[in-house]
Structure 1
């Protein structure tokens, strides 16, 4: 068993555990629309197959993200491309997804723990049926990073 062989529910569970290894089975169950027991069984299976090999504490400055990238996504149909956006909303490392004007349709900011995870996300996005092409730009450094001030209506 490898990450590519996981179904969508297992991928969501895995992503939630990657983001917060202490999340309760009850909370996971709510997020993936399964019972607590079903979530526990899926986690147990991932542990048995070696996908989850342990739980650890990672220390470091709060909010520090080691790797980030921008993905520019070209969709087949700009008007009816909601399926792509639905999948993007389910990927916890996608911290920004804007519909933009110009040559490409969506601008994503992806923040992950490793370059390998960025690549996994890129492969997942590029393989979506509604995506025709992607362009990726790795972030070398962030010189300005702030929350919007005085802007209402932001999600």
Structure 2
């Protein structure tokens, strides 16, 4: 990836709905060149897809939590298989230390979070969980 690819990825990450012609003008290249770059980045897997970023009004309403999970030995694959279809689970990371996984979960209500936590705790192979409800965001470099 060269500097143009990196600038293109940054621009798409900021707003993937920007029209191709506008993006080409911003980057100072021909529209056809831009389109060829995007197609190559998609084909080689650098760009895996496009998504939306929810607005501030929606994000403020959502309740987030971090869930730490202790998994029984040799149960990681089956636990992951059960977690993957849960829409409330936004991300799952394996980790070192006394807990084996870290989940980021989201819900519209505390009841929804509680139901998700109950469902996670009921997964065969989940030995223990610890939940940390997010209260306020002081800063987020991802946005």
Normalization by structure 2: what TM-score? 0.56
Asked which structure has the greater CA Rg, the reply is: 2
Alignment partner of 1:61 is 2:54: no
- In terms of fraction of residues, the more helix-rich structure is 2
Q: 1:41-120 residue pairs with structure 2 within 5 A?
A: 61-77=57-73, 79-120=74-115
Q: Secondary structure at the match of 2:124?
A: coil
8 Å CA contact 2:75–2:125 kept in 1: the answer is no
Runs of 5+ unmatched residues, structure 1: 1-59, 149-155
Cα deviation 1:15-56 (Å, max 9, x = unaligned): xxxxxxxxxxxxxxxxxxxxxxxxxxxxxxxxxxxxxxxxxx
Q: Secondary structure at the match of 1:61?
A: helix
Size of the alignment, in residue pairs?
Answer: 89
8 Å CA contact 1:65–1:111 kept in 2: the answer is no
Report the alpha carbon displacement of residue 65 of structure 1 after superposing the two structures with TM. 4.3
- Classify 1:126/1:98 alpha carbon distance in 2 versus 1 (closer, same or farther; 3 Å): same
Q: Give, in whole Å, the separation in 2 of the partners of 1:98 and 1:80.
A: 15
Normalization by structure 1: what TM-score? 0.52
Alpha carbon RMSD of aligned pairs, Å?
2.1
Runs of 5+ unmatched residues, structure 2: 1-55
Q: Secondary structure at the match of 1:132?
A: strand
